[in-house]
Amino acid sequence: LAKTTQPISMDSYEGQEVNITCSHNNIATNDYITWYQQFPSQGPRFIIQGYKTKVTNEVASLFIPADRKSSTLSLPRVSLSDTAVYYCLVGDLAGQGGKLIFGQGTELSVKP
């Protein structure tokens, strides 16, 4: 299983763009990159998933370089409500039966 490394915490201000980078140097061919968000006292929530290049949805963008050894979650114009823990997960999810392997995550704090 690919090990992921991401910053433990980040601070930002409302209206800024936030980029959280995750390193996964030993990512395998069948591995996908998935990001989850967790608010206090809630369960994790799926944000975005990608395999290569760029993926964008209504919540975030995910940038994956050609070597796939890292990925960057981009949150445009954050608000106070984006304060949460963000998890980067890497794995052959179909092969794992959908089992998710969580790391420590990045605790994002958005200030006014």
Partner 1 sequence: EAGVTQFPSHSVIEKGQTVTLRCDPISGHDNLYWYRRVMGKEIKFLLHFVKESKQDESGMPNNRFLAERTGGTYSTLKVQPAELEDSGVYFCASSQGGRPGEAFFGQGTRLTVV
Q: Does 71 bind partner 1 (CB under 8 A)?
A: no
Beta bridge partners of 84: 108
Candidate residues 7, 21, 32, 72; the one interacting with partner 1 per rule CB under 8 A = 32
In this complex, which beta carbon is closest to partner 1, that of residue 12 or of residue 64?
64
Candidate residues 41, 58, 66, 81; the one interacting with partner 1 per rule CB under 8 A = 41
Beta bridge partners of 62: 55, 73
Q: What is the smallest separation between the CB atom of 31 and partner 1, expressed in angstroms?
A: 10
Give the span between the Cα atoms of 91 and 94, in whole angstroms: 9
Which listed range, 10-18, 40-48, 60-68, 74-82, lies at the site for partner 1 (CB under 8 A)? Answer: 40-48
The tokens for 20 are: 């959280």
8 in Cβ contact with 88 (< 8 Å):
no
The residue behind tokens 């392997």 is 101
Q: Does 99 bind partner 1 (CB under 8 A)?
A: yes
Candidate residues 29, 43, 66, 67; the one interacting with partner 1 per rule CB under 8 A = 43
Tell me how crowded residue 103 is: count the other CB atoms within 10 A of its CB. Answer: 15
Tell me how crowded residue 30 is: count the other CB atoms within 10 A of its CB. Answer: 12
Site residues for partner 1 per CB under 8 A: 32, 34, 41-46, 49, 87, 89, 91, 93-94, 96-105
